[in-house]
Amino acid sequence: MDSIIIEGIAFSIPLFIIAIGGIYSEGSGVINLALEGLLGFGAFAGGLSYALLSSVITGNPLLLIYASLAFAMVGGALLASLHALMCIKFKANQVISGVVINMLSVALTAFLANQINASVFGQPSNKFLLEIFPKVTVPLLSRIPILGAVFTDLYTFIPIIVAVAILMAYIYYKTPFGMHIRACGDNPHAVAAAGGNVMKIRFVSVLVSGALAGLGGMCFAYSISTTFSPNIYMGFGYLAIAAYIFGSWKISRTFLACILFGFARSAGYVLVQKLELPSSFGDLVLTLPYIVTLVLLLFFSSKTKAPRALGDVYE
Amino acid sequence: MLKKPNLIKRIFVYCCGPGKHQLLRVSLFCIFLSLLAGTVLLLLLGKNPLEAYRSILQGAGILPKTRYAGKKSQLTDFMSLLNYTTPMIFAALSVAVALKSGIFNICVSGIMVFSGFLATVLVGYSSLAPMIAKPLVILIGIVAGGLIGVLIGYLRHRFNMNEVVVAIMLNYIISYVVSFFIQTKFVDPITRQSVEVGQNARLTLFDYPIMNLKMEINLVFPLALITVFSIRYFINRTRFGFELKAVGLNSKASNYAGINVGKTMVTTMLISGALAGLAGVSYYLGSNASIQPRVLPSLGFDSIAVALLGNTTAIGCFFASLLVMVFDSGTTYMSSRMQVLREIAALITSILLLFSAIGIFFRALANRYAREAEEV
């Protein structure tokens, strides 16, 4: 039971921050299928910064780890700026741009990781090794029955992400800027009439989306494999898209969707282990979030409310 | 003082401006830009770009190499290129047909896995005679692909579900379920992929001796050519093709004009799915012989941008597929000759697709410049 909660949290929370990134972008009216590529590129930037800085900063692994998270956000935002440029300035089709950004991200990280490993570190590899992310067990809270597992063996990135997520939710719902973002997604012309700069607001939203996806991607790189490798492109970006559609573009409901996905995944894995089934049954478990989302959409697609101007090119 | 930007503008308008073959010229301009980007990249790596591009063409069998291994020649390289291009042609056509009626078929990868898996299991491991097995594989590909296509079209029309979202979900569901079956029943313990299909069911003949050469002959390549022309005829010359395009341009107006939008959408997706299914069988039982579990073929995603580069016309798709696959199959030779990483091909291809995604912008910009020039 404990392992279900521990694993579930470690998976859902990074997924949640990526999904918030998606909500920011789509909330402002820019379809973001590029999340997969953004999280991969963010993880690449973080892994690269870790590999490069580890010779400069010695003796302080914690600083190194947190710096790599920051660089991952920068990397994600960098690639997101290309998506924003294509969608907003060049008026490319947003779905196609997203797909192309994903492909570019896979190709670019594979090429750069190989090239940098060969020319800077002198070894043929497409990976960057990382440190194991520090874990804490909160002294008193972890002794609460059942719920205590939430505070046991907690990756320290979890509180960081939760803090960022709360901040992002606050900005999105409670500040004028957040309202502008949501207005751009529903009626960009009204924003323009009220004196807002639609293109600028959308651009910033997509950048934020990239930064958050990069952060989530880096946490996945730490928690799942403690390396950056091309295996990071496992479809978590698409899963995040499923999560915010499931949560009908609302941050609170998306949180529940992410928790559901994460726990379904970890519970399924534990079940497969307990029943001593072959590990291939894990694949069936992995389909659960997608099937649930599909069935949900089947019944509630008329009720889920996407931003009204989603995908519209604003001129 | 203003002369220089004007000259650039004039050249740009000449390249992409309004007039004959504008779409084709914009595509060529995009190809030129990405080759330019590739050149810069190669120069940064300290390689000779001309030499690199030449060895890509040599590797793909377009130009002759200096030396060949036994029983190999330029012709065998070229036949191998056609072999790898065939699935891409089907996949790009699948995307293009759907796009014509305003539907994004992102599910090509998933459909490819689905049809490839079904054909592998039903025919690939059987001992049917080649004359029966091969057509059966093609038939299964068409039917399996068409089924998924119809499902997407129906969900989109009946339940108003976003087809992109449905496709993403289906991609992963198919991928994981197929992976489950492969890993429980059909796994090859050494390669960790599905067991190779028998030669009787394979749509590509490998090492087939002709004229003292060992060739790869893709048996469905002629079918791909026929499909290109029939899709072209179908879209441009038939009533259904007209309705399909009308729905893509404005589904409400089409409905008002008496076109059955739902039927058109579902039929379009039936065709698109069948084409993707063909891509699947010609990939998994042709140029490849086994399925890697948990992996969606990147070809399915590349095809979206290839269709775009080909301006979603059938003939355009054919040439765009050929171009992208020249890069893909010529790179092995280039990377071994020039000590450049293999990954650079994928990089140049994705830059090409990036530019073709903003082709619409180039066109609009050139049109604007042309108008401005007229007004002055």
Query: What's the confidence (pLDDT) of residue B173?
Result: 93
Question: Is residue B181 pLDDT above 80, yes or no?
Answer: yes
CA dist A2 and A154 (Å) reads: 12
Instruction: Read off the tokens for B360.
Output: 């619409």
Question: Is residue B8 pLDDT above 80, yes or no?
Answer: no
Contact B179, B171 (CB under 8 A): no
State the count of interchain CB pairs (< 8 A) between A and B: 129
CB contact under 8 A, B164 and A238: no
Q: Is A291 on the interface with B (CB under 8 A)?
A: yes
CB contact under 8 A, A287 and B302: no
CB atoms within 10 A of CB A283: 22
User: Which residue among A100, A241, A302 sits closest to B354, beta carbon to beta carbon?
Assistant: A100
pTM score, two decimals? Answer: 0.89
CA dist B323 and A275 (Å) reads: 51
A287 contacts on B by Cβ (under 8 Å): 172-173, 176-177
Contact B124, B137 (CB under 8 A): yes
Write the DSSP symbol of residue B194.
Answer: B
Question: Is residue B376 pLDDT above 70, yes or no?
Answer: no
Contact A128, A115 (CB under 8 A): no
Angle at A71 between CA A68 and CA A75, to 5 degrees: 135
User: Which residue among A33, A96, A287 sits closest to B173, beta carbon to beta carbon?
Assistant: A287
Task: Give the residue with greater pLDDT, B366 vs B110.
Answer: B110
- Tens digits of residue pLDDT in B274-305: 999 999 999 999 888 888 888 888 888 889 88
Query: How long a stretch of residues is chain B?
Result: 376
Query: What's the confidence (pLDDT) of residue A211?
Result: 96
CA dist A39 and A98 (Å) reads: 13
The residue ranges of chain A whose pLDDT is under 70 are 301-304
Query: What's the confidence (pLDDT) of residue A305?
Result: 73
Torsion of CA A216, A217, A218, A224, to 10 degrees: 100
CB contact under 8 A, A103 and B298: yes
Confidence of residue B368 (pLDDT cuts 50, 70, 90): confident
User: Which residue among B173, B179, B180 sits closest to A291, beta carbon to beta carbon?
Assistant: B173
Quickly tell me which residue has 């579990």 as its tokens: B293
Spell out a b/e string for A129-144, using b for 16 or more CB atoms within 10 Å of the CB, else e: ebeebeeeeeeeebee
Side-chain half-sphere exposure of B325, counting CA atoms within 13 A = 26
- Tens digits of residue pLDDT in A237-263: 988 998 898 888 999 999 999 998 888
Confidence of residue B1 (pLDDT cuts 50, 70, 90): very low
> Which range, B239-243, B335-339, B343-347, is most confident?
B239-243
Task: Give the residue with greater pLDDT, B6 vs B113.
Answer: B113
Query: What's the confidence (pLDDT) of residue A304?
Result: 66
Query: What's the confidence (pLDDT) of residue B269?
Result: 94
Task: Give the residue with greater pLDDT, B275 vs B46.
Answer: B275
Contacts of A107 (CB under 8 A, 6+ apart): B343, B346, B347, B349, B350
Contact B118, B178 (CB under 8 A): no
B308 contacts on A by Cβ (under 8 Å): 96
Candidates B76, B42, B43, B71; CA nearest to B59 is B76
Compute CA B18 distance to the chain's CA centroid, rounded to the nearest angstrom. 28
CA dist B356 and A97 (Å) reads: 10
Instruction: Read off the tokens for A88.
Output: 């907003």
Task: Give the residue with greater pLDDT, B1 vs A62.
Answer: A62
Write the DSSP symbol of residue A154.
Answer: E
Candidates A39, A43, A41, A16; CA nearest to A227 is A43
Query: What's the confidence (pLDDT) of residue A5?
Result: 87
CB contact under 8 A, A95 and B164: yes
Query: How long a stretch of residues is chain A?
Result: 315
Residue B369, amino acid: Y
| Surface of A (157-196) touching B: CB under 8 A | none
- Tens digits of residue pLDDT in A187-229: 999 999 988 899 999 999 999 999 999 999 999 998 887 888 8
Question: Between helices A2-27 and A35-53, what is the axis angle to 10°?
Answer: 110
Query: What's the confidence (pLDDT) of residue B5?
Result: 59
CA dist A42 and A212 (Å) reads: 9
Q: What are phi and psi of B147, to 5 degrees?
A: -60, -50
A281 contacts on B by Cβ (under 8 Å): 180
Query: What's the confidence (pLDDT) of residue A38?
Result: 95
| Average pLDDT of the residues in B102-115 | 92
| Average pLDDT of the residues in B32-45 | 89
User: Which residue among A90, A104, A281 sits closest to B358, beta carbon to beta carbon?
Assistant: A90
Query: What's the confidence (pLDDT) of residue B219?
Result: 87
- Among B26, B343, B363, most A C-beta atoms within 10 A, so best to mutate, is B343
Confidence of residue B149 (pLDDT cuts 50, 70, 90): very high
Compute CA A197 distance to the chain's CA centroid, rounded to the nearest angstrom. 27
Question: Is residue B207 pLDDT above 80, yes or no?
Answer: no
Query: What's the confidence (pLDDT) of residue B4?
Result: 54
- Among B95, B165, B331, B365, most A C-beta atoms within 10 A, so best to mutate, is B165
Task: Give the residue with greater pLDDT, A50 vs B66.
Answer: A50
CA dist B325 and B331 (Å) reads: 10
CA dist A51 and A72 (Å) reads: 13
